[in-house]
Amino acid sequence: MANGSFWRSYSFAWITLGFFILTIVGHWIFGWYAFVNEQQSHGEAATFGPYVIEMMRDTLENWQSEFLQLLWQVGGLAFLLFLGSPQSKEGNDRLEAKVDQLLRQLDPARGEAIIREIDDRYSGRHTDEPHAHR
């Protein structure tokens, strides 16, 4: 990694993974105690098979209703913005148009040249036409 170690570069992901592991293990441990208490209150023995089925149901229900929903809202949005979805480009295009207009107004003599220079630097393309907004 150019800017630091693998652990430091992905520290947010590692902390999130740590929280996930800690909470899933805690969920299953405390679920076992709750299952044992429930079975004892009915005068039945707590066995591992029914516990696993109940905990899988509860875990998947929680996953679907909370984590998956949040994952899609945050992770999906970040992924689509990273890919440059049409929705993310609208905001960028609007901002770029405003900055271009400011450059034209602040330096009428060189504004177009500055815009072309910046476009060349970041897009690798050059046009001799006045800056047409993409």
How far is residue 36's CA from residue 58's CA, in Å, rounded to a whole number?
16
Q: pLDDT by residue for the chain (134 residues), tens digit each?
A: 555 688 888 888 899 899 999 999 999 999 999 999 999 999 999 999 999 999 999 999 888 888 778 877 888 778 777 776 665 556 677 788 888 888 899 888 888 998 898 888 888 554 444 545 44
pTM score, whole prediction: 0.50
In angstroms, what CA-CA distances link 36 with 1, 2, 55, 84?
48, 51, 12, 51
Q: How far is CA 95 from CA 91, 92, 106, 132, 133, in A?
A: 6, 5, 16, 14, 11
